[in-house]
Amino acid sequence: MNTHDITFWISLVQAQYWHDPYDEESYALDCEFLSDINQELVFKPSYKERFSNISNFVLVKFEYDMMVEPKETEDLIGLQYLNKTERIHFLSYPGAHLQFSFEWFKSNIFPYINRTFDNVRSPLRL
């Protein structure tokens, strides 16, 4: 994807972290970003409230993922509400963690991006 011009509207976050369940203290001290957005240390209701305003949220579960455990989650950030209001979309990819091609991304993710930004004046340049 680094060869394509993706505008600031699109966020694809690679976590790049290790969460050792036997050493929670180190995780809490060393991983400020993810522990905060995952609401693992301090629950902030405003995060859940703001998250509920998302138009479309696409989650991709990599069938052969060996990075993310567990593959499912709790409702600490409001995913259940997005699901009930049909704004969360679950996709599955038959491969390893983040090993999709740009073509797969374009075919499967772009339809949601285009729906979200229909009212944006500037087109996405890819």
pLDDT tens digits for 44-65? 999 888 888 888 878 787 777 7
pTM: 0.49
pLDDT tens column, 12-56? 555 555 667 788 788 777 777 777 877 877 889 998 888 888 888
Residue that has been written with the tokens 């060393």 in this structure: 30
pLDDT score, position 121? 45
106: three-class secondary structure by DSSP: helix
Residue 62, Cβ neighbours under 10 Å: how many? 19
Cα dist from 89 to 26, 30, 42, 57, 80, whole Å: 33, 31, 27, 6, 12
